[in-house]
Amino acid sequence: MARIIVAEVCPACGSLDVQPRERWFHVDVERRDAIDEGWIDALEFACRDCLAVWI
């Protein structure tokens, strides 16, 4: 089985110097159990070059 690695790229400046930040919250959705027992994280990214932040 091959593994695929994907690099996050800053949408503002195109930099690959990106830092992931996790934010946890409770979500009420139909497929909640399939996601992660009702708790999922929002993986937020921040660019170290231009300081842009996105989800």
Q: What are phi and psi of 36, to 5 degrees?
A: -175, 65
The pLDDT, as a whole number, for residue 12 is 98
Q: Cβ distance 16 to 9 under 8 Å?
A: yes
Q: Per-residue confidence of the chain (55 residues) as pLDDT tens digits? A: 788 888 899 999 999 999 988 766 555 555 555 555 555 566 789 999 999 999 8
